[in-house]
Amino acid sequence: MKDTAMYIPTFDDMLAAHDRIAPYIHRTPVLTSSFLNELTGAQLFFKCENFQKAGAFKVRGASNAVFGLSDAEAKAGVCTHSSGNHALSLSYAAGRRGIPCNVVMPRTAPQAKKDAVRGYGGMITECEPSTTSREAVFAEVQARTGGDFVHPYNDPRVIAGQGTCSRELMEQTDGLDMVVAPIGGGGMISGTCLTLSHLAPEVQIIAAEPEQADDAARSFRAGHIIADDAPDTIADGLKVPLKDLTWHFVSNHVSDVLTASEDQIVDAMKLTWKRMKIVMEASSAVPLATILANKDRFAGKRVGIIITGGNVDLDALPWSN
Amino acid sequence: MKDTAMYIPTFDDMLAAHDRIAPYIHRTPVLTSSFLNELTGAQLFFKCENFQKAGAFKVRGASNAVFGLSDAEAKAGVCTHSSGNHALSLSYAAGRRGIPCNVVMPRTAPQAKKDAVRGYGGMITECEPSTTSREAVFAEVQARTGGDFVHPYNDPRVIAGQGTCSRELMEQTDGLDMVVAPIGGGGMISGTCLTLSHLAPEVQIIAAEPEQADDAARSFRAGHIIADDAPDTIADGLKVPLKDLTWHFVSNHVSDVLTASEDQIVDAMKLTWKRMKIVMEASSAVPLATILANKDRFAGKRVGIIITGGNVDLDALPWSN
């Protein structure tokens, strides 16, 4: 976005996003598990974005940004900084449109992630693993390429795109009492708020966060953004802080932010793999971990859970250490 | 089955089985992967029985046997010998009907499998890990309990039940050229033959087998059953030999039996986990392994693949040794 004024995306933006991205994304299935229902006392509906294109929900927002550009805007391509799923997703979307995608990644990012970005046609410029270096390198790349900056989450086009996920979830289930999704920068949660506050305002939205990266929980209680100083958690997609746009949605529409310990996250992750037979990231296990740690809050309820992604290093699983 | 004469199940038996078991099984989804399509040059449709109740397709045949018993027959329950998914599936089905299930398992079977059988309400009698001991102990259990013996695969009720899987697969896809499924004792392949020879006789049925347990491939070429002497393969569900009933279907309806090496099986397994984000057994990777090893046979074709099960020991993955 070249415009620096904060534009709050609307429900109509989400509907337009859904039409725009439909050819490039999967309508992912919703799975259930009678074992996990019995264990939690709730009825759980898992929206499997681990089966999504590029392996994560982030392709929704990235595709909306890429395919919303005019032909003139699209010529110089897109650019971003990310060491995770946003880098993959933006590369995938740009590849589908046939425009350049430049990604600034720390040189310390896993080789597998770099290979995957390149596999989708993304071009990587490496930076040092510090905010200063990333910002300097990114400014240089953006100036050189003239590409449109697609922020991983603090971008109205991205949030409108992520909001398409809970629209599908509502269509695929017969009414829900709550939706629980992980919170990092807040892109998925903001999209969920955008959609549900209009479509099903009775549904409670719960954000789930690692205890060791609980900046959203502390922000929520304090009433203003608190950023963590270098949080460390196995749920590595959830280390980033809230920004103004995502804070807008979190502060206005989220019912609560619940946290889970590292052990609880790994246990919930392994339990889901074992019982539901799906490969998902540690970040995606945080909702179930918080539900298991707060059973009373969820007992008897119909609960939607967003499984955000499945890009895992199979050679370094957290229970095999 | 108390009757020792060979009864060949019919297409109508399969239709009756599908009606009978529908309340107790999942209609599992069919997933696709553009990555794997590109890699193989074929269009692949994965029928995900790893998401099935009790974690494997075997619950189809077991449920058909259990729910096909009259009330009088059901009173004494069911019994079987199995150290794998059939033991889980029969315990699950018997539990749903509320009748006893006795399972003879080698005392060396993994504790996790024993726990799972008991979790579904099955009663275990242990035997030594030899055919002699298993047969003696099983004869004693059957005589003592009077339970109906449900063989893991050489039983017309079981084969009719397994045949419901390819009926769903045909309904869920828009025409196929081939279906590839793993072959061990031949229950799934026989059910596939039963259904497709009637419903879609133009579809080629390919059986996929580990090189290190290639008794079905050798039987197929020899024209009579050859049983392996203690085969050893990571695809541990596929070690058992063909029997008269499954041989009937294999010899009459299977187009070919293809094999894959242990390394090819592990590679295909890991690739599927990584790209499709699903947890599946080594046995379930044998079809993709044979396709990758015989690309010319499948290029340009629409190929259904049965992912037979997902009961894996997450603490002992074959690529983490």
ipTM for the complex shown: 0.92
Nearest CA-CA distance, residue A295 and chain B, Å: 22
Q: Considering only the beta carbons, identify the residue of A55, A270, A315 that sits closest to B277.
A: A55
User: At residue A320, does pLDDT exceed 80?
Assistant: no
Supply B108's token pair.
């060396």
Residue A1 has pLDDT above 60, yes or no: no
* Inter-chain residue contact A276 with B51, CB threshold 8 Å: yes
Nearest residue on chain B to A310, judged by CA atoms?
Answer: B277
Q: Are A304 and A166 in contact (CB under 8 A)?
A: yes
Task: Judge contact between B40 and B298, C-beta under 8 A.
Answer: yes
Residues of B in contact with A29 (CB under 8 A): 29
The answer to whether residue B321 scores a pLDDT higher than 60 is no
pLDDT score of B1 more than 50: no
Residue A203 has pLDDT above 90, yes or no: yes
Q: Cα separation of B219 and B69, whole Å?
A: 33
Report the pLDDT averaged over residues B62-84: 96
| A74/A145 Cα distance (integer angstroms) | 12
Check pLDDT > 60 for residue A236: yes
In the predicted model, is pLDDT for residue B29 greater than 50? yes
Q: Using a CB-CB distance cutoff of 8 angstroms, which residues of chain A are in contact with residue B319?
A: 314-315
Query: Which pLDDT value is given to residue A4?
Result: 55
CB A53 within 8 A of CB A22: no
A197 Cα to chain B: minimum distance (Å) = 31
CB contact under 8 A, A320 and B320: yes
Q: What is the 3 state secondary structure string of chain A?
A: CCCCCCCCCCHHHHHHHHHHHHHHCCCCCEECCHHHHHHHCCEEEEEEHHHCHHHECHHHHHHHHHHHCCHHHHCCCEEEECCCHHHHHHHHHHHHHCCCEEEEEECCCCHHHHHHHHHCCCEEEEECCCHHHHHHHHHHHHHHHCCEECCCCCCHHHHHHHHHHHHHHHHHCCCCCEEEEECCCCHHHHHHHHHHHHHCCCCEEEEEEEHHHCHHHHHHHHCCCCCCCCCCCCCHHHCCCCCHHHHHHHHHHCCEEEEECHHHHHHHHHHHHHHHCECCCHHHHHHHHHHHHCHHHHCCCEEEEEECECCCCCCCCCCCC
Region label for B191, one of left (φ > 0), alpha (ψ between -120 and 50) or beta (otherwise): alpha
Is the pLDDT reported for residue B278 higher than 90? yes
pLDDT at B227 over 90: no
Which of B274, B277, B313 is the best residue to mutate to test the A interface, defined by the most A CB atoms within 10 Å of its own CB? B277
Nearest neighbour of A277 by CB, restricted to B50, B270, B317: B50
B178: β partners: B204, B303
Could you give the domains of chain B?
Answer: 11-56+155-307 (3.40.50.1100), 59-149 (3.40.50.1100)
Q: If pLDDT is split at 50, 70 and 90, which confidence band does A228 have?
A: confident
CA distance A104 to chain B (A): 24
Contact assignment for B277 to A278 by CB distance below 8 Å: yes
Distance of CA A113 to the CA centre of its chain: 16
Residue A195 pLDDT exceeds 80: yes
Q: Which of A50, A273, A277 to mutate to test the interface with B (most CBs of B within 10 A)?
A: A277
| Four-residue CA torsion sign, B47, B51, B53, B55 | positive
Average pLDDT over residues A168-193: 97
Minimum CA–CA partner of A271 in chain B? B314
- In Å, how far is A37's CA from the nearest CA of chain B? 14
List chain B residues with CB under 8 Å of A51: 31, 276-277
Query: Residue A277: which residues within 8 A CB-CB, separation 6 or more?
Result: B50, B51, B55, B278, B279, B280, B310
* Mean pLDDT, rounded, for B309-318: 93
Q: What is the pLDDT of residues A122-138, one digit of tens each?
A: 999 999 988 889 999 99
Identify which of A51, A277, A319 has the shortest CB distance to residue B55.
Answer: A277
- Position B308 pLDDT exceeds 90: yes
Cβ B81 vs Cβ B153: under 8 Å: no
